């Protein structure tokens, strides 16, 4: 389990969206191979950018209403929320440099 990316419930997620800090959320499932590959990559990016955004993950199996609300049809899906609104998303596994560039450009 990552140290920099906290798994959150729907209630915690909704509270984070009300805050002033951007939220980077990885929608994942425990059975998903690419999700397992992405986890340490996102953790590394979160370590470098932890002062710029809140990094969380949402299990789509445990939080189906969030998965429906944000139209998660494929995982892993990293979404960036700024001011409580969805700003960008990245589907599937990507290397650290690409993920970091995607996140930085959308914060």
Active-site residue among 35, 38, 60, 66?
A: 35
**CA nearest neighbour of 76 among 97, 93, 99:** 93
Active-site residue among 32, 41, 78, 80?
A: 32
Is 25 a catalytic site residue?
Answer: no
Is 35 a catalytic site residue?
Answer: yes
SS3 track for 54-78: EEEEEECCCCHHHHHHCCCCCCCEE
Q: How many residues are listed for the chain in this entry?
A: 107
Q: Which residues are catalytic?
A: 32, 35
């Amino acid at each position: 389990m990552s140290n920099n990316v906290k798994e959150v419930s729907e209630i915690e997620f909704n509270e984070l969206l009300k805050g002033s800090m951007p939220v980077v959320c990885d929608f994942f499932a425990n059975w998903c191979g690419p999700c397992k590959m992405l986890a340490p990559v996102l953790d590394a990016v979160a370590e470098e950018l932890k002062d710029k955004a809140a990094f969380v993950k949402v299990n789509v199996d445990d939080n189906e209403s969030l998965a429906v609300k944000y139209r998660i049809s494929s995982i892993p899906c990293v979404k960036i929320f700024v001011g409580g609104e969805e700003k960008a998303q990245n589907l599937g596994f990507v290397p650290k440099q690409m993920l970091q560039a995607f996140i930085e450009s959308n914060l």
